[in-house]
Amino acid sequence: FFVEGVHAVGERVALAADDARKIATVLRKRSGDRAQIVDSGGTAYAATLEVTGRAVTAALDAVIDADGVEPSPAITIAQAVPKGQKMDLVVEKATELGVHAIVPVRSARVIGHDTSAAKVERWRRIARSAAQQSGRTRVPAVADMLDWDALLRTFSAYDRVYVPWEVAEPRPLREVLEPEIATLRSLLVAVGPEGGLSHDEVTRAAAAGAVPVSLGRRILRTETAALVVLAAILYARGE
């Protein structure tokens, strides 16, 4: 469970109301049961719970070695928002795989999908819950929605930006990745929506420094593309 603030062994911390309810009523934990607590600094603790009605506190007993749980490089997925519940899937699975952050994007061919602030809040809750269940030591940030031009302006914050593009021209991801993967600390991958990215969007991304890449000769669903590219990059880095 994640708790706010930076703590230390010997402290007792209160769990957030949602987590406390889950611990007491779903997991049916009792006082004296053990749990893993992670603070905002990413330190993981072995802890002993105290359950009093619906309030739960945890005594932080010892630091757990969580080295390597958070992969390197830090990979941010910018995902053009797909239809229905598909973004939920991307957020949940990308979090399990180790994504650093997720940026929901409104690109030209994202039409009629729900891109409201309430959705972004929902994706934040999904990221938190997926980080919890997969034993992460940080919750991936889900950024506020950006349009394509605003996304381009963030490119300079990353060591490298890849734009998967299913047309014939781009070099294969593997060919682009292999010579540079060992040196990258941060990476942005911008995946298009169901209708794809327009030629103009990819051209402007390339002018802003992105490298278009191919994920193979088959066209993947947008949600598949995001998860495949994340897994492939982490695999190439041995993560």
Can residue 95 be called a binding residue for ligand SAM (CB under 6 A)?
no
Residue 232 burial (CB < 10 Å; 0-12/13-18/19+)? middle
Can residue 105 be called a binding residue for ligand SAM (CB under 6 A)?
no
Q: Is the distance from CB of 193 to CB of 87 less than 8 angstroms?
A: no
Query: Count residues contacting ligand SAM (CB under 6 A)?
Result: 17
CB of 214 to ligand SAM, least distance (A): 5
Can residue 96 be called a binding residue for ligand SAM (CB under 6 A)?
no
| Nearer to ligand SAM (CB atom), residue 137 or residue 214 | 214
CB of 137 to ligand SAM, least distance (A): 30
Cα 94 off chain centre by: 5
Nearest residue (beta carbon) to ligand SAM: 192
The CA-CA-CA angle for residues 132, 136, 137, to 5°, reads 110
Q: What secondary structure does DSSP assign to 115-167, as a single string? A: --HHHHHHHHHHHHHHHHHTT-SSPPEEPPPEEHHHHHTTGGGSSEEEEE--S
DSSP letter, residue 121: H
CB of 195 to ligand SAM, least distance (A): 7
CB of 217 to ligand SAM, least distance (A): 7
Q: What type of residue sits at position 187? A: L
| Nearer to ligand SAM (CB atom), residue 111 or residue 219 | 219
Interacting stretch for ligand SAM, rule CB under 6 A, among 48-56, 96-104, 112-120, 186-194? 186-194
Can residue 79 be called a binding residue for ligand SAM (CB under 6 A)?
no
User: Going by DSSP bridges, is the β-strand pair 44-52/34-38 parallel, antiparallel, or unpaired?
Assistant: antiparallel
Residues numbered 143-182 forming contacts with ligand SAM, rule: CB under 6 A:
164-166
CB of 210 to ligand SAM, least distance (A): 11
The CA-CA-CA angle for residues 210, 124, 214, to 5°, reads 25
| Nearer to ligand SAM (CB atom), residue 98 or residue 192 | 192
Please name every residue paired with 44 in a beta bridge, in sequence order, or none if there are none. Answer: 38, 64
The CA-CA-CA angle for residues 178, 136, 81, to 5°, reads 70
Residues in touch with ligand SAM (CB under 6 A): 164-166, 191-192, 194, 196-197, 214-216, 218-222, 225
